[in-house]
Amino acid sequence: MTYSSPLLSLPGAVAAGAPDEGVAAHYGDPLREQRSLARGEAIVDLSQRGVVTVTGPDRLSWLNTLSSQLLLDLAPGESTETLLLTVQGRIEYSPRVVDDGATTWLLTETWEAAPLAAWLDRMKFMLRVEIADVTGDWATLGSVRPVERFADNITWTDAWPHTRTGGYSYSVVGEESHPGAERPWHEYLVPRAELAQSVDELNLAGVMASEALRIAAWRPRLGVETDERTIPHELDLLRTAVHLSKGCYKGQETVARVHNLGHPPRRLVFLQLDGSQHTLPERGSAVVVGGRTVGTLTSVGQHYEMGAVGLAVIKRSVDPEAAVDVVDGEEHYAAAQELIVATDAGQVVGRPTGLLKGGRG
């Protein structure tokens, strides 16, 4: 059954397309909404997203054995994120995690909840855990600043771009200079039956606004920046989603090998697109250097200050100074790169001081 948020019935609401079908792209003025969201004066309907719960006394120790993040000592109300990887270290699931002392809440992408719940259910064996897909009961809202109305709700707070304990940054900029520092992010769970009532008298922004701010913050998104080959190093996810010193989990060998001895084959890059054509390329468009396709445009949006911006996953070997073209059918969009993941990321064994930190731009 196709989901449709009750907030889509509000005046001016325009429905979003993939991957955010079911909620509003905007409510009539995308750039005004984006400015309001960036100032912390608006909230975004993310009720198309999924929610999975894990209960039982073994929940955290069990999830810890399966995932890339250290979850053993996760305190009630503390937020984190984790990855569930294949044996080859490729990303399968990337839930946002918060525990309330009795239940571990996994906030997921739209398509992720049902298969994640089924996968976890197959893995529980004789342990004292219960898994449920509660997407039908809970809706997600997002904002830049904490919203007092939701102070008592289950709340996930994004650590990005801060490097968590046990993590490692592949960025060429420090945390204070990282553009993600300008976009703190919070997600709240509200009873789905009370969604419309819960946002009454609050300013609303559509997902066009939240996506543009996410792109500007260099924040990767599962199913958007990822494909069937993605390893976490390529997206700088070791900073927030991986604990490099925790115990064994599926995919750990690849994570450790690439980090210590190798280099990720691809890297996430920020693109400043030429906005003179008054259109935007589609997600999935080819990124081309010197007539050769070197990657894919994964996200694109219109930022209220920077104009047309995007994220792309490209080959690690691409010259970071090279001008690129984004090719969408017959249309070519000139773009300038900005490094997110350093070209020499990985191979930290023997590196005396870690990655060199440089100034942005």
Which CATH number goes with the domain that contains 126? 3.30.1360.120
- For residue 325, being part of any structural domain is answered with yes
Same-domain pairing of 196 and 113: yes
Same-domain pairing of 44 and 105: yes
pLDDT of residue 361: 31
214: CB partners within 8 A, 6+ apart:
183, 221, 299
- Beta strand pairing status for 204-205 and 43-45? parallel
Report the DSSP beta bridge partners of residue 56: none
Q: What is the pLDDT along the chain (361 residues), one digit of tens a residue?
A: 699 999 999 999 999 999 999 999 999 999 999 999 999 999 999 999 999 999 999 999 999 999 999 999 999 999 999 999 999 999 999 999 999 999 999 999 999 999 999 999 999 988 999 999 999 999 999 999 999 999 999 999 999 999 999 999 999 899 999 999 999 999 999 999 999 999 999 999 999 999 999 999 999 999 999 999 999 999 999 999 999 999 899 999 999 999 999 999 999 999 999 988 889 999 999 999 999 999 999 999 999 999 999 999 999 999 999 999 999 999 999 999 999 999 999 999 876 554 444 333 3
Of 148, 181, 216, the residue at which a domain comes to its end is 216
Which CATH number goes with the domain that contains 307? 2.40.30.110
Radius of gyration over every alpha carbon of the chain, rounded to an integer in angstroms: 20
- For residue 98, being part of any structural domain is answered with yes
Same-domain pairing of 306 and 187: no
Same-domain pairing of 87 and 169: yes
pLDDT of residue 276: 86
- For residue 233, being part of any structural domain is answered with no
Same-domain pairing of 98 and 188: yes
pTM, full prediction: 0.95
pLDDT of residue 313: 98
Domain housing 320:
265-340
pLDDT of residue 352: 59
Q: Give how many domains the chain has, as a whole number.
A: 2
Helix axes 30-38, 207-216, angle to 10 degrees: 60
Return the percent helix, strand and coil in the chain, to nearest 5: 20, 30, 50
- For residue 336, being part of any structural domain is answered with yes
pLDDT of residue 247: 86
Same-domain pairing of 59 and 208: yes
Same-domain pairing of 165 and 279: no
346: CB partners within 8 A, 6+ apart:
170, 233, 258, 259, 260, 261, 262, 263, 264
